[in-house]
């Protein structure tokens, strides 16, 4: 009966988003700059950015700005809903080797083609949908891609990240079962 109350449902969704923000960086909620995910990302980028360009996805625009600041040595480019010149940013990313990282929010997940310059994707927070992940990966994994595409999900253990990942794994199992049932 509690779920029928729209206010309760709305509060639950907001709490889930806040929990996800906390797993990304304490700075999203307060003044503390602690983020184990950013620390892990920096270690990962040492190898990845030496070999290829990297796309980093987050659903939070404020977190994308934090990433832009923290990853300054890689001269990151940023595509959020506030960017009007997406194609100019992509052209710069594809043509200029100084820019090793491009940070996307959901605004960068659709309608872009990056397979020629990039072969790694890092999801800082897990999308709530398998389709969103597939769409984001599809930006660089297309016909013409010559390198293997590496996909990383940074998941904080014992958090909402792990819970969402488990739900998505169950959904994927069900989808696979349904799609192969007729075979």
Helix (H) or strand (E) holding 118: strand 118-123
Q: Would you state the pLDDT for residue 24? A: 92
* CB-based contact 24:37 (threshold 8 Å): yes
- What is the 8-class DSSP label of residue 148? P
Position 109 scores a pLDDT of 55
Tokens 């958090």 correspond to what residue?
A: 159
Alpha-carbon distance of 77 to 177, in angstroms, equals 40
Cβ pair 87, 113 in contact under 8 A: no
What per-residue confidence (pLDDT) applies to 116? Answer: 61
How many other C-beta atoms can be found within 10 angstroms of the C-beta atom of residue 82? 10
Average pLDDT over residues 103-111: 72
pTM listed for this prediction: 0.86
Q: What is the pLDDT of residues 28-84, one digit of tens each?
A: 988 888 899 999 999 999 999 888 889 999 999 999 999 999 999 999 999 888 877
Assess whether pLDDT exceeds 80 at residue 112. Answer: no
Please tell me the distance from the alpha carbon of residue 75 to that of residue 150, in angstroms, as a whole number.
21
């Amino acid at each position: 009966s509690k779920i029928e109350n729209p206010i309760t449902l709305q509060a639950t969704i907001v709490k889930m988003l806040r929990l996800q923000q906390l797993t990304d960086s304490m700075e999203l909620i307060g003044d503390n700059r602690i983020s184990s995910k950013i620390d892990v990302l920096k270690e990962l980028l040492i190898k990845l950015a030496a070999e290829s360009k990297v796309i980093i996805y987050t659903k939070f625009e404020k977190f994308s700005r934090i990433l832009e600041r923290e990853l300054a040595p890689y001269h990151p480019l940023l595509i959020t809903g506030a960017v009007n010149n997406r194609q100019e940013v992509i052209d710069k990313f594809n043509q200029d080797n100084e820019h090793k990282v491009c940070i996307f929010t959901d605004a960068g997940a659709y309608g872009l083609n990056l397979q020629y310059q990039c072969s790694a994707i890092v999801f800082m927070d897990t999308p709530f949908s398998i389709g969103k992940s597939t769409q984001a990966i599809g930006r660089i994994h297309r016909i013409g891609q010559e390198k293997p595409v590496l996909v990383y999900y940074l998941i904080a253990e014992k958090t909402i990240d792990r819970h969402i990942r488990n739900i998505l794994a169950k959904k994927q199992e069900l989808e696979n079962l349904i799609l192969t049932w007729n075979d």
